[in-house]
Amino acid sequence: MPTETHPLESFFHRAVQNSFADKVGLNDPEIVDYVAHLLCEFSDPGHLHRLKDATGHRIENIVEMLRAADPVYGTAASFDEERSVRQYIGDYAMFIAGLHLDVMESAPNYQSDRAIVDELIRLGKESYFIVSQFDLFEYEKEAPLFARLAECLDRCILGLALVRDELNERRALGSPQI
């Protein structure tokens, strides 16, 4: 993680800690730190869709993301790039499913789109698992974190949904504190 602190880092850290540890029973400080940092990173709209194709256009669908992660049949130039894109896919899946599932659930085609959401979550778990398999050299220390994220992604998504609900409640009450 970077040493420079994002202005929202402590706010998101408290919100994630409250939700994950107190409500979901996920008391893993490393996961809490990671998810709080992820929220900071994705609070910049340019970072949510940071993957680009060969022409420089944003990649916004999961099929293209998977192609960008594949070093054999896709466009990843190396296994390091595969790892980076797979980490992004896991992060993207957690963020979208945790913070934006309510938007999807209210869409007119939600029942038919539910399979797409389930597939996004499955690919998030798979991607974090793949990242965890990069467990040598510079990736050795963080590999166990990604193994845990793969195992508990459903709980992380639930925790983020609770963070979203609490933030919405606070906004409705006009109270910024967590």
Q: How far apart are the first and last CA of the chain?
A: 23
- Tell me the mean pLDDT in the region 49-63: 92
Alpha carbons 166 and 15: distance in angstroms, whole number: 8
pLDDT of residue 1: 45
pLDDT digits (tens, 9 = 90+) for 104-127: 566 666 666 777 889 999 999 999
Q: Looking at the predicted structure, is the pLDDT value of residue 19 above 70? A: yes
**pLDDT > 90 fraction of the chain, expressed in percent and rounded:** 72
- pLDDT value of residue 172: 83
Single pTM value for the model: 0.90
Q: Are 83 and 76 in contact (CB under 8 A)?
A: no
Compute CA distances 178 → 17, 106, 165, whole Å.
10, 26, 12
What percent of the chain clears pLDDT 70, i.e. is strictly above it?
89
Residue 69 has pLDDT above 90, yes or no: yes
